[in-house]
Amino acid sequence: MSTTSYIETNRERFLSELFDLLRIPSISADSAYAGDVRKCAETVANFLTKAGADNVVLEETAGYPIVYGEKIIDANLPTVLVYGHYDVQPSVPNEFWNTPPFEPTIINDKIYARGACDDKGQMFMHVKAFETMMQTNQLACNIKFMIEGEEEVGSNNLGTYCKNNKEKLKADVILISDTSMIANDIPSIDVGLRGLSYVEVEVTGPNIDLHSGVYGGAVSNPVNALCQMIAKMHDDNRHITIPGFYDDVLEVSVEDREAMAKIPFSLDEYKKHLNINDVLGESGFSTIERTGIRPTLDVNGIWGGYIGEGAKTVLPSKAYAKISMRLVPNQSSEKITELFSNYFKQIAPAGVTVKVTPHHGGEPVVTPTTSIAYKAASNAMIDTFGKEPIPTRGGGSIPIVALFEKELQTKTVLMGFGLDSDAIHSPNEHYGVFNFFKGIETIPRFFHHFSELSK
Ligand code: BES
Ligand code: MN
Ligand code: MN
């Protein structure tokens, strides 16, 4: 039987199995869901075993387990290590969901659920593609699966696991579907991801909340101070003002920028989709460049003072913010966190003290377009989309990609099938049924080409 007819025959079951995964609220950030995260790991392990994997185990870590499984068919064939994650982002704010986040629902050929695209839907394509290759006798490479449960909280235990299991994880390439493509009729492959530096700041003024009339005007207000400090972090050209912030930024060549300018992109559609009247970013760069090759600084959350009903006159004692900086080659997340920290303390106005707490970070990466593995992914997409995929730079971060290079000396191919409009991390996250099956169809073609090109 051909892979396409096997997929066609099993279409409904593939979807209903994905739904089983999507029903499990495996939110790694919230300890209230610890049992569900673990249950999700077990469910993934069961699916891998049923698909035909050997030696399936839950590898225990200091956090959530890593699901490992493999099928080694011939030591002379190349080995593909598939990475994905079974944990998801919190679903809040729940009131903005049109359907419950953990009750997957298909509307207009899109699967709505938290994790539908990021990354259960995309990760599960690999499990079903593997089953398909097994059942049709077309597995052309050895395969190893490493599916983790802490990607959305910084993959803190994956580095140690990789360091301690170098032999077990040995592979010729790492294949990941956890990114997006330009459009369903414009395939693309991410060849870069941004790094991340993430900090939480606490600004303290007086030792207790004060009456804003009795003390207001005479005592430094930490919320005012925080806003002023944050505003100072960009200049009028939207450059980040932290001294040394751009020192290590690799300028992208004129040729590469010209190639980026040719990527199909409609600013009007972009604005319309987000319902914004204009875009805003670093001057001198296009929207695609701003998200692909330039670093950023954004407030992710800010709070302090009175936010209850009505008006309470108060001069707050404390103000807080969570701030992320997306990084590009060759910035280092540790160095940027330190530069931020120093600058943030330096610009604090009189009367407040400042505390900066770093959260998880990650390094940026660029993946090669000249490798056999990239060529195999490109050929696979040509087979199923009828078009050569365009290499693009993803704005998000998958910190373990840089880590895999460091710990395992193995390069990655980011063959993602999502769309930027899939609302990952947002309410109403969804994944196209088309994309799910396109992935299942394309992955076996990757294995075929990778094996052929490795000969
Ligand atoms: N799958 C995303 C990353 C992604 C999405 C890359 C779309 C490119 C295009 C991943 O699950 C993710 O959300 N990563 C986090 C980083 C992590 C350290 C929390 C991110 O980018 O915010
Ligand atoms: Mn992801
Ligand atoms: Mn994510």
Q: What is the pLDDT of residue 12?
A: 98
Q: Which ligand is nearest to the CA of 29?
A: 1
Whether residue 87 contacts residue 28, with contact meaning beta carbons closer than 8 Å, is answered with yes
How far does residue 398's CA lie from ligand 1's centre (Å)?
5
Domains of the chain listed by start with CATH number: 3-193+364-453 (3.40.630.10), 195-249+295-362 (3.30.70.360)
Q: Which atom of ligand 1 is nearest to the CA of 362?
A: 18
Tell me what pLDDT residue 248 has.
98
> Atom 16 of ligand 1 has which residue's CA nearest to it?
397
Task: Measure 396 CA to ligand 1 centroid, in angstroms.
Answer: 5
Instruction: Tell me the residues surrounding ligand 3 (ion) with CB < 5 Å.
Output: 118
The per-residue pLDDT for 360 is 86
The H-assigned helical ranges of 199-332 are: 222-231, 254-261, 267-274, 287-292
Q: ∠ at Cα 407 (378, 245), nearest 5°?
A: 85
Contact 379, 343 (CB under 8 A): no
Ligand nearest to the CA of 83: 2
Distance 52 CA to ligand 1 centre (A): 29
Q: DSSP characters for 329-386?
A: TT--HHHHHHHHHHHHHHTPPTT-EEEEEE---B--EE--SSSHHHHHHHHHHHHHHS
Which class for 377: exposed (0-12), middle (13-18), buried (19 or more C-beta within 10 A)? buried
Find the 86 Cα to ligand 1 centroid distance in Å: 13
Per run of 10 residues, the mean pLDDT along the chain (length 455 residues) is 97 98 98 98 98 98 98 97 98 97 98 98 99 98 98 94 97 98 98 97 98 98 98 98 98 94 96 97 98 97 97 98 98 98 98 96 95 98 98 95 95 98 98 98 98 97
- How remote is the CA of residue 15 from the centroid of ligand 3, in Å? 21
CA of 217 to the centre of ligand 3 (A): 43
> Which tokens belong to 110?
């899109």
Collapse the DSSP code of 57 into the 3-class scheme (helix H, G, I; strand E, B; otherwise coil) and give the result: strand
- Spatial distance between the Cα atoms of 255 and 229, rounded to a whole number of angstroms: 38
Probe target for ligand 1 pocket from 178, 392, 417, 422, with the most ligand atoms within 8 Å of CB: 178
Q: What is the predicted pLDDT for the residue at 16?
A: 98
Instruction: Tell me the H-state helices in 136-249.
Output: 158-164, 222-231
Q: Please compute, for residue 130, the number of CA atoms within 13 A of its CA located in the half-sphere on the CB side.
A: 27
Q: For position 381, what pLDDT does the model report? A: 98
pLDDT at 359: 94
Protein residues with CB under 6 Å of any ligand 1 atom? 118-119, 151-152, 154, 178-180, 193, 196, 360, 362, 394, 396-399
Measured from the Cα of 420, ligand 1's closest atom is 7
b or e along 175-203 (b: 16 or more beta carbons within 10 Å of the residue's beta carbon)? Answer: bbbbbbbbeeeebbbbbbbbbbbbbebbb
